[in-house]
Amino acid sequence: MRWEELDQQPCSLARTLAVIGDRWSLLILRDCFLGIRRFDQFEDRLGITRHILADRLKKLVEHDVLRKVPYQERPRREEYRLTDKGLELHPVLMAMVHWGDRHMADERGAPVRHIHKGCGQAMTPVTVCSECGEPVNARDIRVEAGPGWESAGVLPHSS
């Protein structure tokens, strides 16, 4: 499977990776959730070349993950804001941060804490069933073919 063809795969993960699957896009999204919005801020924080940054931002805008919003008219300057579609990536990034906190942190522990505004407590993300609210993990889920797999002529392997 070629990188340029990921968005053509009958797999939601592959299609998602085609949009956000490189390190720079994920770090840009991280910074968006931390309130970074302007090109020069991304460039300074990430140490990324202007060409790569422009390319990744363009892709995120084209896929409606970010939108450009003018903040100055003369000269015209725009900042990047998360769309509703972009905001829906928050649980994905939180899951990755949680994994990193558990498996990649040094002896000092997690570099940041996520505080739930509602109760004021430090929190960790939990995946729950949308139907019953019970926490779930990989062993609690069975995969079945859906219409997208069937029309592709390939069925996923299920355990």
In the CATH scheme, what is the code of domain 3-147?
1.10.10.10
Report the chain's mean pLDDT, rounded to a whole number: 90
Domain boundaries, the chain: 3-147
User: Does residue 62 register a pLDDT over 90?
Assistant: yes
Comparing C-alpha atoms, which of 86, 98, 85 is closest to residue 125?
Answer: 98
Average pLDDT, integer, range 117-130: 94
Average pLDDT, integer, range 134-150: 85
- What does the pLDDT read at residue 2? 61
pLDDT band for 157, please (50, 70, 90 cuts): low
For 67, the token pair is: 């939108």
- φ/ψ (deg, to 5) at 79: -120, 165
Longest Cα–Cα distance of the chain, Å, equals: 59
User: Does residue 130 register a pLDDT over 70?
Assistant: yes
User: Does residue 84 register a pLDDT over 60?
Assistant: yes
User: Does residue 37 register a pLDDT over 90?
Assistant: yes
- What does the pLDDT read at residue 58? 97
User: Does residue 61 register a pLDDT over 90?
Assistant: yes
- φ/ψ (deg, to 5) at 122: -65, 140
User: Does residue 156 register a pLDDT over 70?
Assistant: no
For 60, the token pair is: 């995120």
